[in-house]
Amino acid sequence: MNRLKVLVAENSGICFGVKRAFSLLEESTEEALKIGKRVVMLGPVIHNPRVINDYARRGVDVVNIASVPENSVVVVRSHGVTAKTEQILQSIENVKIIDTTCPYVQRIHKLVAKQSAEGCAILVMGDKNHSEVEGITSRISGDFFVIHPSEFGEKEPELRDFLINHKSVFAVAQTTSRPSNFEHLLKLSRGLVRDLPDHKILSSETICTATLKRQDSARELANRVDVMVVIGGKNSSNTSKLLQVVMEKNDSSIWVESISDFTPEQLAGIKKAETVGITAGASTPDYQINEIKDFLERLDECSD
């Protein structure tokens, strides 16, 4: 009799943007390989070593901008690239670009390009070293200021100067930001120029809630199961964050990339449990989640 209940968090695994990138990659790979064209990814489309290795076996390599081959099909990642990288790609002989930049990121590109062309300075909340933020700032034609929530205190004097020096400011946030941090930044910024009535700070809602929803679902499930399994690449920062979130609620949480990662002690612990929860990072395709779910369900049958 099946005693072990295996539950998958409501929001887990790949988001809409990565799913879209993944199917565009698959479609273009199939088409290009049929006609003998080379396909390359400009940076890994997905932070999942198993998926990247599968593509490598089919001849699809990860390259950087300096090594994009001529006459190839180049797949651009969902975070997007800088305007300069786009120009370089377009200048390479006979290259077909498959742009999988997430529509939510593309929207920010358009917003900042338009607002800066109309004379607004741009305030960007995010990590200045993240490729999404680099792509955003590369499309700003005028002045801009980037601030991460962890810098709100130390960078406040610089932020004040930036706001005082620009009468019209337009604010956006990196898609994976916390809405409460952006609200805080807008409040702080408006407070800094409250004595300057001709200064205005406008903003647009640019945060994608996929990451937050995934964390909320994982937290909720971790609360009501005996053991929690987090699936995702060991190089994936959002998976490591997911583990942190579930660990706060359930210290019997395990991080695996695949079935072979379970240790005998972990499997023994799972066999004693009544309920196991599963969540997965943003780069874990459904088939990898199902593989582990089936394995855990069968594990219980074997132990009877």
Positions annotated as catalytic residues are: 132
168 CB-side CA count, 13 A = 8
CB of 111 to ligand SF4, least distance (A): 14
CB of 163 to ligand SF4, least distance (A): 27
Could you tell me which of 237, 172, 245, 182 has the C-alpha nearest to residue 9?
245
> Residue 112 or residue 193: which is nearer to ligand SF4 going by CB?
112
Cα separation, 175 vs 206, whole angstroms = 6
Residues 6+ apart with CB under 8 A from 147: 123, 124, 125, 155, 159, 185
> Residue 18 or residue 32: which is nearer to ligand SF4 going by CB?
18
27: left (phi over 0), alpha (psi -120 to 50) or beta: alpha
CB 282 within 8 A of CB 226: no
Cα separation, 143 vs 119, whole angstroms = 9
> Residue 15 or residue 254: which is nearer to ligand SF4 going by CB?
15
| Burial degree of 239 (CB within 10 A; 0-12, 13-18, 19+) | buried
Cα separation, 34 vs 46, whole angstroms = 23
CB of 229 to ligand SF4, least distance (A): 22
> Residue 175 or residue 236: which is nearer to ligand SF4 going by CB?
175
CB of 277 to ligand SF4, least distance (A): 22
- Measured N-to-C along each axis, helices 237-249 and 210-223 cross at an angle, to the nearest 10 degrees, of 30
CB 234 within 8 A of CB 257: yes
> Residue 124 or residue 270: which is nearer to ligand SF4 going by CB?
124
> Residue 62 or residue 299: which is nearer to ligand SF4 going by CB?
62
CB of 200 to ligand SF4, least distance (A): 27
At 161, is the secondary structure helix, strand, or coil? helix
Residue nearest to ligand SF4 (CB): 17
Helix or strand run (H / E) with residue 169: strand 168-173
Distance between terminal CA atoms of the chain? 7
Q: Which positions touch ligand SF4 (CB under 6 A)?
A: 15-18, 78, 102, 104-105, 175-176, 208, 210-211
DSSP label at 275?
E
In the block, tokens 């997430």 appear at 102
